[in-house]
Amino acid sequence: MLDKYMNLLLPCSLGLIWIWLTDSTDALMNYTAKPRVVLPPNYVKEMRPPSKKGSPVIVDFSIFVVDINSINVEDMDFRVDMFIHQRWLESRLEVSDDIFEEGDDYVTLLPEFFDNLWQPDPYFLNSKIAEIATLTHKFTSVTLYKNKTVRYAARMHAIIACQMEFQLYPMDIQVCPIYIESFSSNNKKVKLRWSDSGVTLNPELKLLQYNLGQPLELEESDGYMPEKVGNFSRLTVYFRFERQIGHHLIQTFAPSSLVVMLSWFSFWLGLDAIPGRVTLLVTCMLTLVTMFTGLRADIPPVAYVKALDLWMAGCMVSVFAALAEFVVVKVLDVQYQYQVNKIPKVLPMRISNMEKGQCPTVASWEGGAVRSRKSTQTPTTPGQTSLQGNGGPPKPARRQSLLSVAWTDTDTGVEKIMWREIDKVSRAVFPILFFVFVLLYWPILLMKSS
């Protein structure tokens, strides 16, 4: 009975084993046969495709920029996400029509097929990091056309170094190139060139602080690389990042201008409001210092002067000059008060003459009276001085000091005080000078940035 069951099971087991072996062989043939469909037996992937004598293999290159972000002014680099496409003619392939679907002139092959082909080796010359995007596998594809053209596509992200200049900050324009160059094959073996599409930008691409200048400038050249001792084909695309000024107008220029204008109010405050005047000017100065200190954190420290530094200097000099003007008028007021308290009272007749405008100043009138008395009176003893009507000896030094801080208007007979006149003049001079600075600053900055 046992022998009967064994005789029945043995053929079934052998049949299952045969089916399993057949399926495994077919699967292995399907995996290994696909490259053999297009690759001849004597194909050597280390050798470049044949071309005319003395001419290099032409590799067409194109880029579709998906996104540009993280424009880092401190590290002077930016990140770009993109699709790259390479296209070249591989005449050694054996292309059969049965591998194409009906109506198609191309077929998409597995990415592993690319490892069996000769492939160009371009790289980003000025990149810090360049990687093919991956999720469960690398995002690459290989397309083969009936005319034996191979097209390779990949999704990449790269961090590109850019030498930035900040002389015109915050209206600076950064021109950042991307250099693409063949790594091991010189320009006699491989030549890179831009395809018809060149570099295309995502129409939905937007940058926070910059406007991306268009059209992009493309360039093809041969660069000598001393490290590799030879000339290598190079492609260049220039990205033009124009900084938007709106943010800085609202956050920097408008507030600082208002602070400068606020400092002008001190010219309308008399010297009897010393605490308020000092507090206003010092607060304006500290506000500007705090504001500009925060702005310096947005850009790296550089050795040259930036346009923003000139604006900062103009605003701070204006407020500092207002503070210095206050010190000057206060000193003049102290001197005036000192002289007024020290000058003896003049006779009523002299006051009447001054009111009639007969004497231009108190000091000159006093000086004339002294000269008149000196000419009419003779001292009785040597060294004795006249004390007539003056209550004491004359003091020309005080009269000369009084002349510098106060005088009488010859037309109106009104006494003019120096510090008050300085305040009146400052009310017009300071705004005019600041507006002249603004009128010179902005046109020059706009011309340089354009």
pLDDT of residue 5: 45
CA distance 360 to 55: 99
- Asked whether the predicted pLDDT for residue 14 surpasses 80, the reply is no
Same domain, 177 and 322: no
Domain assignment present for residue 65? The answer is yes
Last residue of one domain, picked from the residues 223, 243, 263: 243
User: Can you tell me the mean pLDDT for 324-349?
Assistant: 74
Residue 176 near residue 239, CB atoms below 8 Å: yes
Q: Report yes or no on 415 lying in a domain.
A: no
The 10s digit of each residue's pLDDT in 310-334 is: 999 999 999 999 999 998 888 888 8
Rounded Cα distance, 290 and 307, in Å: 18
Share of the chain above pLDDT 70, in %: 76
pLDDT confidence band for 343 (50 / 70 / 90):
low
Contact 318, 260 (CB under 8 A): yes
CATH number of the CATH domain containing 310: 1.20.58.390
- Same domain, yes or no: 84 and 156: yes
**Per-residue pLDDT averaged across 334-357, rounded?**
61
Residue 361 has pLDDT above 70, yes or no: no
The backbone torsions φ and ψ at residue 287, rounded to the nearest 5 degrees and listed phi first, read: -65, -45
- Do 232 and 259 have their domain in common? no
pLDDT of residue 18: 46
**Whole-number pLDDT of residue 163:** 92
Mean of pLDDT over the chain = 79
Predicted confidence band of residue 84 (pLDDT cuts 50, 70, 90):
very high
Does residue 335 or residue 323 have the better pLDDT? 323
Pair (92, 168) in one structural domain: yes
CA dihedral angle for residue 400, residue 405, residue 408, residue 412, rounded to 10 degrees: 160
**Type of residue numbered 372:** S
- pLDDT tens track for 45-62: 888 888 887 789 999 999
The reply to whether 176 and 319 lie within a common domain is no
- Domain span including residue 289: 247-341+426-449
Domain count, the chain: 2
d(CA 311, CA 321): 15
Q: Binning pLDDT at 50, 70 and 90, where does residue 379 land? A: very low
How confident is residue 12, by pLDDT bands cut at 50, 70 and 90? low
Q: Would you say residue 22 has pLDDT above 60?
A: no
Q: Is residue 42 part of a domain?
A: no
Task: Determine how β-strand 190-201 pairs with β-strand 57-72.
Answer: parallel
CB-CB contact of 60 with 195 (8 Å): yes
- The Cβ-side half-sphere exposure at 340, using a 13 Å CA radius, reads 11
State the pLDDT at residue 101.
80
Do 363 and 400 contact (CB within 8 A), yes or no?
yes
Q: Is there a domain that residue 22 lies in? A: no
Query: Residue 374: what pLDDT?
Result: 40
Span 140-164, mean pLDDT?
92
pLDDT class of 300 with cuts at 50, 70, 90? confident
Name the least confident of 169-178, 180-189, 269-278, 376-385: 376-385
pLDDT reading at 372 higher than 90? no
pTM: 0.71
CA angle (88 as vertex; 84, 89 as ends), nearest 5: 160
* Cβ pair 314, 441 in contact under 8 A: yes
> To the nearest whole percent, how much of the chain has pLDDT over 90?
40
Task: Look at residue 286 and tell me whether its pLDDT is greater than 90.
Answer: yes
Residue 94: the pLDDT is 82
| Same domain flag for 78 and 163 | yes
Residues 6 or more apart whose CB falls under 8 angstroms from that of 183 comprise 121, 122, 123, 232
- Distance between CA atoms of residues 294 and 296, nearest Å: 5
Q: pLDDT by residue (tens digit) across 208-259?
A: 889 998 888 999 998 777 777 788 999 999 999 999 998 899 989 999 999 9
In a domain, 360, yes or no: no
Same domain, 231 and 269: no
CB 217 within 8 A of CB 238: yes
- Please, are residues 365 and 353 in contact by the beta-carbon 8 Å criterion? yes
Average pLDDT for residues 335-348, to the nearest whole number?
66
The domain that contains 223 carries what CATH number?
2.70.170.10
